[in-house]
Structure formats: structure tokens, C-alpha cells
Chain A
Amino acid sequence: MKLLIKGGTVVDPAARRMYRADVLVEGDRVTAVDKRLAGGDARVFDAGGKLVFPGLIDMHVHLREPGQEYKETIATGTRAAVRGGFTAVAAMPNTKPVADTPAVIRYVLEKAREAGLARVYPVGALTRGSRGEELSEIGELKAAGAVAFSDDGRPVAGAGMMRRAMEYARMLGVPVISHCEEPSLAAGGVMHEGLVATTLGLRGIPAAAEEVMVARDLILAEMTGCHLHVAHVSTAGAVRLIREAKARGVRVTAEATPHHFTLTDRAVADYDTLAKVNPPLRSDADVAAVREGLGDGTIDVIATDHAPHASHEKNVEFDLAAFGLVGLETAVGLVFTELVADNVLDVPAAVAKMSLNPARILGLQAGIIEPGAAADITVFDPEAEEVVDPALLAGKSKNTPFGGYRLKGVVYAAVVGGRVHLRDR
């Protein structure tokens, strides 16, 4: 099986450049990248006018399987991933049961293989049951295929537990991904604390809830030497703390989501539960700070925190509605519409935050198109436009707040290990 991706502009995030070249794929590998390649008997894929990225990686998704298949399955979640241009995803461990045993890790990997769509890299639970009381078997989980460790959604409340977890993770050379939220400050909150919450009569989650734990985890990362990755940064204070820690040489990386660089707490007005998410959508100043952090490199990664929920979990009183929104199929369009078009990021920098940087953080051989690399490639049409229609999403759940948004730039195809997944339209 040979495939020639012809006439596109290849983006190289490592060299921060773009160049016109054809890409030849044989089997599951890239075998040549050059001008005017002769493909011989290869199937020719016309990429004229399109951008050719190293396969995009979303390092923060919730695939819900095992346990909550009514929201999403590994098959439907990875179908959403390839439709959104992601050739790989990292799956968070808050499944039922929690991914705190090698059996769950192997189950996730097996289901991903069966689905045959995007690659799935499991994230193991940092503590047993993500209860924050005892370490999970981090070594065994790593051996089974876990690439990082996190109690996402149930932050480790005790600083002492977090310290031990980081020390142990450092020994094994795996990153700890922290959902930073001090429970006693966030208690009962359902949206960002501020005038909008006050007007709606909803309990707020102050920015300080995130910042207190970011500060704690940065101090512990400095103490232990562990690689800390801060998930879904949402506040100006958190961006500043991470920037200062990086300048000091702390081993920290960070991610931001498209919704946190696009929407503010005003999206919640009229009690729109589709905009209920944790961490919450914040103020204009926070959105500006997240964008600035993306622009100056404080924030390394764009990840979606794809969090599918069934409609009956959203079509209820705001207090009772589930936190989270689906992001896999709108992320790349939002990055180009909100960040590239606004000159927050140039194309190679934007692509780096969705390929090379997450690959480096997770220790994956990915993020560059060169002979010998795995044939994971995303083809993107920067000139095409689309209006988001939730009903057309490939994932099982449709809980996006971006319905009706006009996005500039549309994913054209995702190639995973040489297999082409063309986006239907």
C-alpha cells in the first residue's frame, strides 16, 4: 500500500517552518518527503492548497469506556478524534472502574485496536480509585502502556500524598498531569465566581481555587524534580505562576483548551448548561492571559478536555447538570479561527501545541513528518469554512457550546499509520 500526498504545504513544528513538498507513505511509515515525488503505483491524494501537519495529538480526552458507554465509547470517541483531525488521543483514567489497574489499561488499548481509528494512549490513575489516599501501581500501569498519571477531575487534596506521587513518578520518568482545583475553595461552585454568577444566583468557583493548587504543585515539582503538567489552565494567576516557575527552571508544562481561550463566563448567561465546564469559563482578563500564555510559550499544549455527556445530563437545572463539553471536532477550527487568524500563534507554533509538544511531554515518537516516521498525518484546508452543527458530530454526545459558530479552516483528512480517514461533509 503506497500513498502519495501531493502538492500540499508541509508544516514542521520542530523547525518552525512550512514548505511545499509531497509526502510518500509506504505501509505505516513515511518513506520520502520531497518536491515533486514520483509515486509510481501509489494512490495519489491531492493536497493542493492544503496544509499537511504531523498527526495531531489531543492529550486530554475522556472516552468514558469502560463504564459509561452511554456517553461515549472508545470507538465513537476515536471516530470523533479522526473527524477532528487528531490521529492520537490520551485517555483520562476517570472511567468506571478507574484506570488504576493494568487490566483497565490493557482493555482500553484493546478496544482502541479494535476500533482501528485514532491511536489511544491511556493515562493511568495517580492514586488508587483516584481517591487521593494510596499510590496506584504506577510502575505496573506504565508497563501495561500508561504514558502519564493523573487523578483528573478528582484533584489530590493532600499535599503530602501529591508529594509522594510526584517522587514516585519522577523515579519512573513519567509526567504527572494535575487538574488544579483546591476542593475547599471550589466547594459547591458551578461556574466562575464573578458578577455573572452573582446575577444568575449560581455558586462561584473563584480563580483562587485553581491558583492555590497550581502554586502548591509547582512547589512540589520543584522539590521532587518530577515533570508536572498542569491541565486546562484557565486563570491569569495560573498562567503567571507557571511562567515564573518555568523561568526558575521548574520542570513544568501546561495546556489550555479551546473553550478557555474562546469563551468567557458570559456564555453561561440564560443558564446554558452546555457552557458548564470545570474549570469554568472565566473572565475577559483570564481569556486574554491564556492567549498571552499560549503566545509566549508558557502554555505548551492545546488539548480539548473532550467530556461527552448525554442530553439528559445537560437538559436539567444548572446546579444538577454535568460539567464538561465535547471538543475533539471543533478544536482545530477554533485554533485557526481564534488564535492563528488573530496572530496569537503562527501556523507552526499552533501545530506544535497539538503535535510535537504533547508528543514530547508524553514521550511519544511523533510530531514530525520525515522519512522513517510513523505515517500519522493530518491534512487541513485553511481556506474552507464551516458552521458547527452539533447534529453532525461523529461522537456519541453532542454537548458543544459552539453550535452555530463559523470556523475558518476545516480538517480534510486524518492519516493514522498509513490508513486514510477522509472527513465526510
Chain B
Amino acid sequence: MQAKHLLGLAELSAADIEEILNNAVPMKQVISRDIKKVPTLRGKSVVMLFYEPSTRTRVSFELAGKYLSADTVNVTTGLSSVSKGESLFDTAKTVQALGADLVVLRHPSAGASHLLARLIDVPVVNAGDGMHEHPTQALLDLFTIRERKGSIKGGKVVIIGDVLHSRVARSNIWALTRFGADLHLVAPPTLLPAGIEQTGVTVHHRPEEALVDSDVVMVLRLQRERQRQGLIPGVEEYAKLYGLNAERLNLARPDAVVMHPGPINRGVEIADEVADGTRAVITDQVTNGVAVRMAVLYLLALGRMN
């Protein structure tokens, strides 16, 4: 892997993405064993800096580190104590002084991992920064699509939901368009970021229009606060217009898969019948997330040693 850090997929080369996905295959085999442990990162320490609560991502990284025999340390900081940026600056120095070999950062500010990567001489993994990117989530999505569909090129992928606030959507847009997917976004105009149509995607406002003959449907979580922010009239109307139900899913190809980065708002962006249906691969995504994160930690640690 050429990159020293994993900050975002917009700037990661296709070759590096391939290498991560290829390395995730044997990692997934490790996870399926009885004894889920390889000595790859023995003696290495992974510091997880979480400035935002996220049990799912934190646990996934933590397990990835443990399966590779790394020592993982959690530093979870409440939002209140991050009121001023000094804390990231100072924490970075501390982390470096403590001898961390890898840092995993989750932060509410876009670009926080770029700042951290400039401040310290340790590989940084972006575990989600504001509305910017969540690269490991998109990598596990790519891995899951490949596993199910063989390839990404030419496949029709539909992302439905709050693209405006979604770092998951952004990371997926860069990766999926780079690997030749036919990518469609569905959202009301109030939940689409400016200029997104210039990124090689097709934008729709009605899911029915986009779903026809799709191979992959990704559903994004809708935060209830979007109503208070005046971006949608209400959750009920959103569910009615955009929620993925069985009827809408029938427009997709019979072998289409349904993905969701979690946590799910049942009955809002996705109906129970779909979330629990046979086409949903949401639990596969969770497993694949650990495998992909193992590959990322391994490759960045390896790059640092060389």
C-alpha cells in the first residue's frame, strides 16, 4: 500500500483500494475460525480516539486489532471537552509520545484526520470525520458487493437517503464511480449536497425512478433532527416517499442486495420486511467490516515498518 494513512477514498489510489480488499479475504477466513487470532500485529499498539460516540465502529476496529494480536487502547472523549481544537492538537502529541503505532480517529469535524496526520508521525485511520468520509465503511461495502456480485464494474447501485450529511455516501460515491459502477442517488433536493451531480452520478428525487433493474440498493440512516432543521416536513412523509419497502424493492433485479451502514431506523428509511428479508446483507456488512479493518490496520502497520 502506497498511502501512509487512510484519510479518505477520494484521495486513495485504485491500487491501494484493491490491495485492501484483497487482503480482507484471508482476514475474513481468520474471523470464521474457532480461534480468531493471528500474531501479525503482536507488540503493536492501536490507539482509538473517539470524539463521537459510535459503539459499532469502535467495536469493529477493536476486534480487528485484537484478532491481529495488537494492543488496543480506547480514548473516548465527550463532545463537551472538545470545544476548542487544542485538545486534538494536544492529544495528538500525547498519543505520539505514548508510542502508538496506529491511530484510529472518529471526529465530528471534517478534515480532523487530515489535521492529525499532519501533526503526528503515526499512520492515521479515519473512522469518520464530520460529513467528509468514512472510508472503512465504503471499503466494507465494496467488499460485500464483490462478494455477492463478483464485480462492481457496470453494476447499478442506488443510494437512497440523506446524502447531504452522509460521510458514508461520500466515500461510496468516490469508490463506486472509480470502480465503474452505474451510481444513482435518490433524495429530496434538501438532502443533496451542492454540485453532487458533477461527480459522475445520476440524481433522482423519486426512488421508483432509480430502483428499476438495480443490483445493489444502499439505504442511508435518516436522523430525526432533519425535520427540526427544516430539511424535511416530517419522518412520516419521508418514510412514505423514500422508505425502502417490498413494493419498491420489487423494481430492483430479483438478485439485488440491500445494504445499510446501520444503525437502522426501522419503519423510517427501511421497512421491517426488507431489513429482515432474504435480500438484506446487513449482517454480512458487519462481519466484513471487521475483515476490512484488519486489512487496513495490517497494511498501514506494514507500510510503517518498511
Interface residues of A (CB under 8 A from B): 193-204, 206, 270-271, 312, 315-321
Contacts and interface: CB of A to CB of B under 8 A. Distances in A.
Nearest to B167: A201
Contact of A320 (B85, B193, B194, B196): B85
B115 A319 contact: no
Nearest to A312: B86
Interface string B1-37: 0000000001000000000000000000000000000
B199 A195 contact: yes
A317 B170 contact: no
A317 B107 contact: yes
Interface in B128-165: 129-133
A198 B195 CA distance: 7
B10 A319 contact: no
A194 B199 CA distance: 12
Contact of B115 (A199, A204, A317): A317
Given A199-B10, A318-B109, A271 B114 contact: yes
B194 A194 contact: yes
A317 B194 contact: no
Interface in B115-132: 115, 129-132
Given A201-B129, A270-B114, A271-B114, A319 B109 contact: yes
Contacts of B86: 312, 316
Given A201-B132, A270-B114, A271-B114, A320 B195 contact: no
A206 B195 CA distance: 12
A199 B169 CA distance: 11
A315 B114 contact: no
A203 B111 CA distance: 12
A194 B131 contact: no
B198 interface: yes
B112 interface: yes
Pairs of residues from A and B, 5 with the lowest C-beta to C-beta distance, nearest first: A316-B85, A201-B132, A195-B195, A271-B111, A317-B109
Given A319-B109, A319-B110, A201 B131 contact: yes
Given A200-B132, A201-B132, A317 B193 contact: no
Interface string B170-205: 100000000000000000000001111011000000
B111 A316 contact: no
Contact of A318 (B111, B170, B196, B198): B111
Nearest to B166: A201
Contacts of B85: 315-317, 320-321
B88 interface: yes
B114 to A, nearest CB: 5
25 contacts: A195-B194, A195-B196, A197-B194, A198-B193, A198-B195, A198-B196, A199-B10, A199-B170, A200-B110, A201-B129, A201-B131, A201-B132, A201-B133, A202-B110, A202-B131, A271-B110, A316-B85, A316-B86, A316-B89, A316-B115, A317-B88, A319-B108, A319-B109, A319-B110, A320-B109
B111 A200 contact: yes
B194 A201 contact: no
Nearest to B164: A198
B228 interface: no
Contacts of A315: 85, 89
Contact of B110 (A193, A194, A195, A201): A201
Nearest to A268: B111
Contacts of A195: 194-196, 198-199
A203 B109 CA distance: 11
